[in-house]
Amino acid sequence: MKLWTKITLFLLPIVIALVSIGIGRFSVDFTTTVQILLSQVFPIEQTWTEMEETVVMQIRLPRIILAILIGAGLSIAGASFQGMFANPLVSADILGVASGAAFGASLGILLIGNGIAAQGLALVFGLLAIVFTNIIGGVGKKMPVFMLVLAGIVTTALFEALISLIKFVADPEEKLPAITYWLMGSLGTASYQDLWLAGPLIVIGGGILLAVRWRINLLTLPEDEARSLGISVGKLKWVVIFAATLVTAASVAVAGIVGWVGLIIPHVARMLVGNNNERVLPVSVALGGAYLLIIDTVARSVTATEIPLSILTAIIGAPFFAILLRKTGGGWS
């Protein structure tokens, strides 16, 4: 990849963010938006209303940052899982992490109400789910990859049944709509509180994955070969799994289940830069952040009512992905 392509790619989320902050149901002039943003750093005389400032600083900004973080996080987690298992089918949703986290959050909404409890439980159950999948699938042992995918399907089925159980007992007026809506994914109530909760975890998990991205390539080698290169395969696998799960569960905790991103973005990245995870992971971060940001901007601004994210990620993502697949043959060799 040429240098300028690289620069364009990594500037993409930032450029889209700048455009996105000027878009929304509440109309704020673009110049006003820029002034409001600049006024946070430089002393600029206030010519705008309180409301405009709240919209830009308290509603749009945290939401945009979260959308980029979550899009990037889900994509890098998906890319890591795919790279690690050398399997284009796996993603955090398929390994059961997303449904585990979703179960945790539904449980939180049902028992405690909402907020921190739901998000904390999402994390706990997301991690539990991946441990469960690994026990069934036998990670670290000489097990074929399809075992792991099957294990993930089993785990997902189990947690989805538990989610249905929760929906069944939930109060149909107040809690059920909250749970259902949330299961379709939304950043509709994103705030700095959510950002502080999920942001650090996504950054830490993503940072770990980026740091070991070169070694993820080695995980696909036969174990003794990797060992001869001085890499402890077992330990590395767990580091990758833990980091990717941390990222996914943190995302689910604040935005609910956002499907498709973790599956398709890594594919797109591979179509652009090939199979080397050293390149696939950073490119996934840039593309994923940009993609979810675009989706979320559409979700919040096209109609008066919020559109659930998963609907859009699938409706926009699936045909786009289909075309790419036909054109490139998947980029997986």
Minimum distance, C-beta of residue 109 to another protein, in the bound complex (Å)? 7
Minimum distance, C-beta of residue 168 to another protein, in the bound complex (Å)? 6
Among residues 32, 39, 87, 193, the one that binds another protein under rule CB under 8 A: 193
Nearest to 285 by CA among 265, 257, 263: 265
Judged by CB under 8 A, the chain residues 132 through 171 that form the site for another protein are 168-169, 171
Q: 3-state class of 189 per DSSP?
A: coil
Burial class (CB in 10 A: 0-12, 13-18, 19+), 164: exposed
Q: Is 220 in the site for another protein (CB under 8 A)?
A: no
Minimum distance, C-beta of residue 277 to another protein, in the bound complex (Å)? 37
Judged by CB under 8 A, the chain residues 267 through 326 that form the site for another protein are 300, 303-306
Report the distance separating Cα 294 and Cα 10, nearest Å: 15
Report the distance separating Cα 127 and Cα 116, nearest Å: 17
Q: Is 39 in the site for another protein (CB under 8 A)?
A: no
Residues 260 and 317: beta-carbon distance below 8 Å? yes
Q: Is 31 in the site for another protein (CB under 8 A)?
A: no
Minimum distance, C-beta of residue 302 to another protein, in the bound complex (Å)? 11
Report the distance separating Cα 9 and Cα 27, nearest Å: 29
For residue 76, what are the CA distances in angstroms to 248, 266, 295? 9, 7, 18
Q: Is 45 in the site for another protein (CB under 8 A)?
A: no
Q: Is 32 in the site for another protein (CB under 8 A)?
A: no
Q: 10 Å Cβ neighbour count for 17?
A: 19
Residue numbers at the binding site for another protein (CB under 8 A) = 24-27, 49-51, 54-55, 58-60, 109, 113-115, 168-169, 171-174, 177-178, 181-182, 186, 188-189, 191-193, 300, 303-306
